[in-house]
């Protein structure tokens, strides 16, 4: 029997790399993609097909999807994993940084989804797994732009799920809390591009130690743990629509049901306690 085929974005590190490994272990045909193909060479040596794919480039998306369909005749699963965090208070983040954030985290998955869907609809089969975050369920001060991108991804995935249900296609949101990856380093780099107004220095003190928000903090899970849930979702005939990953994620998403006023008070209390 022909193995199932998966296309993964952002496979150079972290969750994307672990996900490529996990699908390989399950016998899938894996297309591990990255902006720089040198970053996925070792995955190639392990048996993945590798390809250059920047999710902000329409031509890359079209070329890679066409190649997989030529070589395999099928794409059973798309994992929209590529993403990063643009932190910073709303006032301080310039519009072009907001645009870049949405280009990668929201328009990227949208480009890939549009590219694979005609094929999945024709086969009446397929799973689109979108790697969101707890930040897609709960917005926090200093994280408005990143949370906004993940909220948008969540909304589009919810709409998509209902649209493609009649074609046998599933759409799943993976919602990790902190994961031990390079995420926090990239977030720290992006924060350097923010134009500090001087009005929000207390936030920068927190974000200068972005380990508190991303991978190195308490309750963080290894990327392999997230990969496991992604492979499960792709392999299930009826996957859950949302999968919070890790205890911290399962508890944090409940914050969504706390009344706004209480949540605002909690954030202001946390700020005073620092
Ligand atoms: N780590 C966490 O705490 C955490 C928590 C919740 C959700 N997430 C989500 O998990 C996903 C993966 O992040 P990670 O934690 O594994 O971090 P990571 O190790 O930094 O990996 C991010 C991946 O995204 C890729 N990427 C960034 N911009 C891209 C673009 N324009 N085109 C293609 N690929 C691009 C990176 O490639 P380059 O190497 O080329 O930059 C890298 O492979 C992200 O969507 C993130 O929002 C992470």
CA atoms of 207 and 93, how far apart (whole Å): 14
> Residue 144: CB within 6 Å of ligand 1?
no
Active site residue 146: yes
- For position 91, what pLDDT does the model report? 98
CA atoms of 26 and 38, how far apart (whole Å): 24
| Torsion 150-176-94-269 (CA) sign | positive
pLDDT in tens, 29-78: 999 999 999 999 999 999 999 999 999 999 999 999 999 999 999 999 99
Rounded average pLDDT over 114-133? 98
Active site residue 238: no
CA atoms of 239 and 192, how far apart (whole Å): 39
- For position 94, what pLDDT does the model report? 97
- For position 78, what pLDDT does the model report? 99
Rounded average pLDDT over 206-214? 65
Rounded average pLDDT over 211-219? 68
The CATH number for 248's domain is 3.40.50.720
Q: Which of 49, 132, 133, 149 is catalytic?
A: 132
Pocket test for ligand 1, best of 15, 20, 97 (most atoms within 8 A of CB): 15
Q: What's the domain count of the chain? A: 1
Active site residue 12: yes
- For position 203, what pLDDT does the model report? 87
- For position 177, what pLDDT does the model report? 96
What is the span of the domain harbouring residue 112? 5-273
pLDDT band at 215 (very low <50, low <70, confident <90, very high): low
Active site residue 200: no
């Amino acid at each position: 029997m022909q193995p199932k085929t998966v296309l993964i974005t952002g496979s150079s590190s972290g969750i994307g790399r672990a996900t490529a490994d996990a699908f390989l272990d399950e016998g899938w045909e894996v297309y591990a993609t990255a902006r720089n193909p040198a970053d996925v060479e070792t995955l190639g040596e392990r048996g993945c097909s590798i390809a250059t794919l920047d999710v902000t480039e329409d031509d890359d998306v079209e070329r890679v999807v066409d190649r997989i369909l030529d070589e395999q005749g099928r794409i059973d699963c798309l994992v929209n994993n590529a993403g990063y965090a643009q932190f910073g208070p709303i006032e301080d983040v310039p519009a072009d940084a907001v645009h870049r954030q949405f280009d990668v985290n929201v328009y990227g998955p949208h480009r890939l989804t549009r590219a694979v869907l005609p094929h999945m609809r024709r086969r009446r089969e397929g799973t689109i797994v979108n790697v969101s975050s707890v930040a897609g369920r709960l917005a926090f001060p200093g994280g408005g732009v990143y949370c906004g991108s993940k909220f948008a991804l969540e909304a589009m995935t919810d709409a998509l799920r209902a649209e493609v249900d009649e074609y046998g296609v599933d759409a799943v949101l993976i919602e990790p809390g902190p994961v031990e990856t390079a995420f926090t380093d990239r977030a720290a780099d992006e924060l350097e591009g923010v134009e500090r107004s001087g009005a929000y220095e207390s936030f920068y003190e927190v974000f200068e130690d972005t380990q508190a928000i991303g991978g190195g903090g308490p309750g963080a899970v290894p990327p392999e743990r997230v990969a496991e849930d992604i492979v499960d979702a792709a392999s299930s005939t009826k996957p859950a629509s949302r999968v919070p990953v890790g205890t911290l994620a399962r508890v944090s998403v409940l914050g969504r049901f706390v009344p706004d006023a209480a949540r605002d008070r909690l954030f202001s209390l946390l700020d005073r306690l620092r």
